[in-house]
Amino acid sequence: MSRHRIHLAPGRVERVDRLLAASLPEFTRRRLQGLIAAGLVRIDGRHARKGDVLRGERWIEVELLASVQVELPPEPEPAVDVLFEDAACIVLDKPPGRPGHALRSGERGTVANFIVARYPECVAAGDTPLEAGLVHRLDTDTSGALLAARNRPAWQVLRRQFRSRTVGKTYVAVVRGALRRGGEISRWIEPDPRNHRKVRVAPGDDASRRARPAITRYSPLSWTRAATLLEIEISTGVMHQIRAHLASIAHPVLGDTRYGGDSDEAGRHLLHARRIEFDHPENGERIEVESPLPQDFAAALRRLGLRTELAKH
């Protein structure tokens, strides 16, 4: 084992994974992510995370091993429903409250652990075994359709579709207050400078260089004075995009206390990935997969007096 030190000059702002890639060009992206996941990258003495953003003068220490084994324990139980399956890809019905990706070697309790147990070949599909072939993310409390690839070529094709915005993503959400008309929110989103676990809608005239464009389209399906059930479509995929955008128009997602939404008896924010559409990575056929509403979401609709055929699932 050897130790490598990286200096971040004063005045610079850089993500730790990008800084590692620039400083250690002989390492693949997968291996660098393995170093982070294994706890071998430290920033001022603490373990680094892939998304950490560094500001100002800092020293980063990297423990270099001949090889880094990133292990994801297989967990067949609790089982996750499979909505679509073939030799190239799978769509899983992610339950609320269960993380999708693992963040560190040895982690348990994620959808990725289930994937490893049932589809062990997925470990080699993505850029890191911790992804278990997953090609996108859902927040821990968000339920619904989650897409994964079973081999490396399929993963690369599907990731290109996400980057080119050809993947269709439809959600349903319950928001605070009556929202009787549909609309579109097209505002940039950037990390919240005061809380690394949040984002914020960037001020129109003062977006940072880390702000990303985001478009959220919504239409009401049912409403009362207290709450509205929305159908939402997004082509972009910025962290917390739907939650931050809806909060910015004074209609936060119910249960989303991080962005100003009132708490709900469901114990989580009421956001569900209802449908995903993509071109099959091998034959190009357009695939559309729907996820039924989970029981807690349907119960919330009944409790709030929101009537829709979605609640029948």
- Residue length of the chain: 313
For 187-226, b where at least 16 C-beta lie within 10 A, e where not — what string?
A: bbbbbeeeeeeebbbbeeeebeeebbebbbbbebbbbeee
Task: With residue 36 as reference, give the H or E element that holds it.
Answer: helix 29-37
- Among 52, 93, 139, 256, which one carries the catalytic annotation? 139
Q: Is 139 a catalytic residue?
A: yes
User: Is residue 279 within 8 Å of 161, Cβ to Cβ?
Assistant: yes
* Measured distance CA(116)–CA(127) in Å, rounded: 15
Q: Which two tokens stand for residue 126?
A: 């993505």
The sheet carrying 41-43 orders its strands as 2-8, 58-64, 41-43, 46-47
| Main-chain phi, psi angles of 180, to 5 degrees | -90, -15
Tell me the pairing of strands 189-191 and 199-201.
antiparallel
Number of C-beta neighbours around residue 57 at 10 A = 11
* Measured distance CA(48)–CA(157) in Å, rounded: 30
| Main-chain phi, psi angles of 93, to 5 degrees | -100, 85
Task: With residue 221 as reference, give the H or E element that holds it.
Answer: strand 215-223
Q: Which residues belong to the active site?
A: 139
